[in-house]
Copies of this chain bind each other. A is one copy, B any other.
Amino acid sequence: MYDPSPRTLEILPRLQAFMRQHVYPAERAYEAQLNAGPSRWVQPAIMEELKAKARAEGLWNLFMADPEFGPGLGNFEYAPLCEVMGRSPIAPETFNCSAPDVGNMEVLARYGSKTQQERWLKPLLEGRIRSIFAMTEPDVASSDATNIATRILRDGGNYVIDGRKWRSSNACHPHAGFAIVMGKTDPAAAKHKQQSMAIVPLDAPGVSLMRHLPVFGFDHAPYGHGEMLFRAVRVPAENLILGEGRGFEIAQGRLGLGRIHHCMRLIGLAERMLEAMLRRVRARVAFGRPLAERDTIRADIANSRCEIEQARLLVLHTARLIDRLGNKDARRQIAMIKIVVPNMAQRVIDRAIQAHGGAGMTGDFGRPHALAEARYLRIGDGPDEVHREAIAKLELKRALDPA
């Protein structure tokens, strides 16, 4: 039993209470507001109300590890809080802890210049704008970063950006303000020195949203995932983060965090799905018996509990390692959670769906959405295969005890 830190113990019950009082009850209203308008690409009013309340109660930017910009919790301290936020699809934005903004804020806090922080980080921290992380490209296997085709070329006091990006989250968000774009400044440099990252305001000429990409049937309104075109987009040279050739380095740091946050949230989601299943099977009668009396259902519950518990311990363990050793030395564990957690969540949610019968596959916000989320994360931020390969490589290098 890992002992949570005193700060976590102080914040956690307040967060849980907020979820019960404000977030869960708002889910239906949020969905209704989304469906009521002429378009689903509008921020539901209730989200801004939730954000205001959360900020007022100090449940805001909890992810931010840098005490200059937020509460300064470590990964291990944040993990139980992030898990709770993962229980509702509307919670992360409520607490200003949603992807990919969290990662962008971390990048700007850690690597951004003062000017960049003032101009782009501040409104993000205040929840006034949303942002995009434009890395993945449609035409190449971009889990291999050396494949990136987008170009960021110096031209006097500017950089000129050309490329196509896709699966860019927040691309359709009405509040989206800028994108951090990964591209090559020097394709002739060493393999991991070719890439750079530039801040690109969405209203810059040449930036266009080509199309919206549904994910497993879901549009994820009002933020959505998009395919974006950057055609001869000019940004001032000061918009480059950290300097030329530092893109890969920034991405590595960012992805580690992104992955562990995704995993924390998925654990919360799986936990909630299991609770929904418990509720359902206690109430539902078929062929003369409550479903809760079926041994197969009971075995599903026990297996889900075993799998969630193990995954959570691995995530907590990894969070601690990151805090102590940094992303790099925890890369084996980060790869492990990235495989383990989405697969676990896919199984747990699939069982919950099955226990719900016909009611399990319907609805926008419920189980099908959760399943799509889990399934998505077996591909997003690197497919299972890439992470398995990373682990195998490290294992095969080990020095071994005598047989």
Contact = CB atoms under 8 A, between A and B. Distances in A.
A317 B310 CA distance: 10
Number of copies: 4
A302 B389 contact: yes
A376 B354 contact: no
Interface string A199-222: 000000000000001111110000
A20 interface: yes
A392 interface: yes
Interface in A359-385: 359-364, 368-369, 371-372, 375-376, 378-380, 383-385
Interface in A5-49: 16, 19-20, 24-25
A138 B359 contact: yes
A286 B144 contact: yes
A301 B216 contact: no
Nearest to A343: B306
Task: Give the residue among A19, A305, A339, A353 with the most B Cβ atoms within 10 A.
Answer: A305
Nearest to A286: B141
12 contacts: A214-B363, A214-B364, A215-B368, A296-B296, A298-B393, A299-B385, A302-B335, A302-B387, A302-B392, A310-B314, A354-B383, A361-B379
Given A306-B340, A354-B383, 20 more contacts: A1-B317, A16-B401, A19-B401, A20-B402, A24-B402, A25-B402, A143-B357, A144-B286, A294-B295, A295-B389, A299-B385, A299-B388, A299-B392, A302-B390, A302-B392, A303-B339, A310-B314, A310-B340, A354-B378, A361-B376
Interface of A: 1-2, 16, 19-20, 24-25, 136, 138, 141-144, 147, 166-167, 213-218, 272, 274-276, 278-279, 281-282, 284-287, 292, 294-299, 301-303, 305-306, 309-311, 313-314, 317, 320-321, 324, 333, 335-336, 339-340, 350, 353-354, 357-364, 368-369, 371-372, 375-376, 378-380, 383-385, 387-393, 395-396, 398, 400-403
